[in-house]
Amino acid sequence: MNTRSESLREHDLDARHLPGCLALAAEAGWNQIEADWRLMLGLGRGLGVSTADGRLVATAIMLPYERRFAWISMVLVTERFRRRGIANRLLQRAVDDLVGSGYVPLLDATPAGREVYRQLGFEDCWGMQRLACSAGASPVAVREEGIDVRPHVPDDRTRVLEFDRAVFGADRSGILRDLAGRVPHAALIAERTGHFCGASFARDGRVATQIGPVIAADEETALALIAAALAKVSGPVFIDVPDRHARIAEWLCGIGFAPQRSLTRMAHGRSRAFDDLERLFAIAGPELG
């Protein structure tokens, strides 16, 4: 059958398309589970392409943050329909919609996607590495003098959200509230002599637990948070660490992690992202920013 002659329909995504979204992510070997798709569709907007009989063959997500910028992610096309320009059309539509609404589009690009995005007007901001540990990291306690790490409690919410907004560049309280409940025993707070100085989150995935975001006042606090989070999870783990924080990456590699792939944070029409890279030690994930 000539797939090029098949009728395709573009449409918005909703909960009815979740089985198709999950199938596309699994085909690509990606980590997202239903909770991730529900979160993104609940807070953002999804674009899809389906065949005449209703089979979902492509997706893209637009996730807005305040009225400043929006993430483009989950650009997926099933193998049978690749190399037909579908991904480029969805990307261009997403970019046009966001720019027209006053948002700066951002995304985290793999090496293969980076050149495609550059042709659409995206510029490099900074790089990172996905570090992976297939069987769980070796348990290593990190005790930094004066830093205490403990689980989140409701009274922490305001401090966490205010600090995160300054680091990330926009309010993402909806994301963080969701992540805090995904792996609650690994949602942690750091305090130095009783004062808040950082936080970390984690979420379950199809392939691995993703640790992030990790936001902290300094490297010592970030190390303490990551070590404590790793002690709370088992099995495969992913963590996406900005290249700026080479010591964090080296420490992780020393306890069993290895680089899996590089990523580049890109912004449309500008070479500077909105985040405070000095205090951002691990991102939430390429699909969330």
> pLDDT by residue for the chain (289 residues), tens digit each?
334 547 899 999 999 999 999 999 999 999 999 999 999 999 999 999 999 999 999 999 999 999 899 999 999 999 999 989 999 999 999 999 999 999 999 999 999 889 999 999 999 999 999 999 987 555 565 666 689 999 999 999 999 999 999 999 999 999 999 999 999 999 999 999 889 999 999 999 999 999 999 999 999 999 999 999 999 998 999 999 999 999 999 999 999 999 999 999 999 999 999 999 999 999 999 999 9
- Judgement on whether residues 60 and 185 belong to the same structural domain of the protein: no
139 near 230, Cβ under 8 Å? yes
**Residue ending a domain, choose from 86, 102, 118:** 102
Q: Are residues 96 and 143 in the same domain?
A: no
Same domain, 170 and 30: no
Distance CA(75)–CA(91), nearest Å, equals: 8
Together in a domain, 75 and 148: no
Say whether 145 sits in a helix, a strand or coil: coil
Asked if 158 and 176 count as a contact pair (C-beta separation under 8 A), the reply is: no
Same domain, 47 and 187: no
Count of domains forming the chain: 2
Helix pair angle (173-182, 34-43), 10° resolution = 160
Q: Classify residue 35: in a domain, yes or no.
A: yes
Q: Looking at the structure, do residues 98 and 134 belong to the same domain, yes or no?
A: no
Does residue 236 share a domain with residue 144? yes
In this structure, is residue 121 part of a structural domain?
Answer: no
CB 197 within 8 A of CB 190: yes
Residues ≥6 apart with Cβ < 8 Å to 112: none
Closest among 267, 246, 53, 252 to 136, alpha carbons compared: 252
pLDDT at residue number 143: 61
What angle, rounded to 10 degrees, do the helices at 111-119 and 86-100 form?
A: 60
List the CATH number of the domain containing 244. Answer: 3.40.630.30
- Indicate if 138 and 251 belong to the same structural domain: yes
| CA atoms of 249 and 260, how far apart (whole Å) | 12
CB 55 within 8 A of CB 11: no
Q: What is the pLDDT of residue 72?
A: 98
pLDDT at position 177, please? 96
Verify that 27 and 159 share a domain, yes or no: no
How far is it, in rounded angstroms, from Cα 154 to Cα 168? Answer: 21
Residues 175 and 238 in one domain: yes
Instruction: Tell me whether residue 160 is in a domain.
Output: yes
Contacting residues for 133 by C-beta, under 8 A, at least 6 apart:
236, 237, 252, 255, 256, 257, 258
pLDDT computed for residue 1 by the predictor: 31
Residue 118 included in any domain:
no
Query: Are 176 and 242 members of one domain?
Result: yes
Domain extent for 241? 130-282
Residue 288 in any domain: the answer is: no
